[in-house]
Amino acid sequence: MNDLGSGSVLAVAILGACLLLTAVLVPALAMLALGQGVQGAADAAALAAADTASGAVPGIPCEAAAAAAALNGATVAACRVDDLIATVAVERRVAGFRLGAEARAGPPRANPERANRERAFKGPRVETNASCDSCELRLL
């Protein structure tokens, strides 16, 4: 029996397996990355809706969510505002697949125990003087 040339066949088989693995993994990893982008769009949309619901930004909360989602290449699938808490679901269609994500945003919950304590992080604080004409920020 002659084994001459069997190394070439093995090399071609390994190369084919590598190409097949690459053809499967690259699109799958691209979809994962796009999914993270959709989650970012959902986060931005929920924050925009919550800011609008709180009155920090003028407008209608779900319209603000739709605008933020559109800036990130997504569309709002659902938007709900309960008090100051906004829950937004967005989606993006990519290559025939629907990628969706949901996010929730609102003011932090009040924690009475923590409200009376000093901050755990002693980093810089910012103070503003809102009664002046030319306000300046001071780091404390």
Which of 7-11, 19-23, 113-117 reaches the highest mean pLDDT?
A: 19-23
**37 — phi, psi (to 5°)?**
-65, -40
CA distance 5 to 2: 9
Mean pLDDT of 32-59: 91
pLDDT digits (tens, 9 = 90+) for 92-117: 998 888 889 999 998 887 455 554 54
CA distance 48 to 40: 12
Domain ranges of the chain: 6-107
Per the structure block, which two tokens stand in for 67?
A: 């605008």
pLDDT at residue 7 in the model: 82
Which residues have C-beta within 8 Å of that of residue 46, sequence separation ≥ 6?
65, 86, 87, 88, 103, 104, 105
Which residue's entry shows tokens 């290449």? 73
pLDDT at residue 111 in the model: 52
If you average pLDDT over every residue of the chain, what do you get? 80
